[in-house]
Amino acid sequence: MQVVVTPAARAELVDAQDWYEAKYPGLGTRFREEVEATVLRLQENPHQFPIVFRDVHRARMRQFPYGLFFRVEINALVVIACFHGSRDPQRWERRV
């Protein structure tokens, strides 16, 4: 199944990757690799991830405190947010 990342989610991914890279060289690359691994898990079985708000699922990353929030649509998985676990969820919920 195709994965579509919204512009807002893409900006969050880039911001997080840049933040990690600034903290420690190479950590941003590891973050990006973890995102890619999480996307592969989404594609394999999107329904393994819990619904956390309306029809939005959350896939937690294994090595970073982030989650990918996504919808299952007919022909695609749409990632609407990449959010740190301690941030206010109302910020991404407004996108639903």
**What are residue 47's phi and psi, to 5 degrees?**
-80, 0
User: Would you say the C-alpha torsion 24, 28, 31, 37 has a positive or negative sign?
Assistant: negative
Query: Average pLDDT of 52-62?
Result: 93
C-alpha dihedral over 52, 55, 60, 66, to 10 degrees? -80
pLDDT tens for 21-53 read 999 999 999 999 999 999 999 999 999 999 998
CA geometry: angle at 72 spanning 42 and 64, to 5°? 35
**What CATH number is attached to the domain comprising 73?**
3.30.2310.20
pTM of the model: 0.89
Residue pointed to by tokens 């990353």: 61
Domains held by the chain: number? 1
Which residues are 57's β-sheet partners? 51, 70
- Domain limits at 46? 2-93
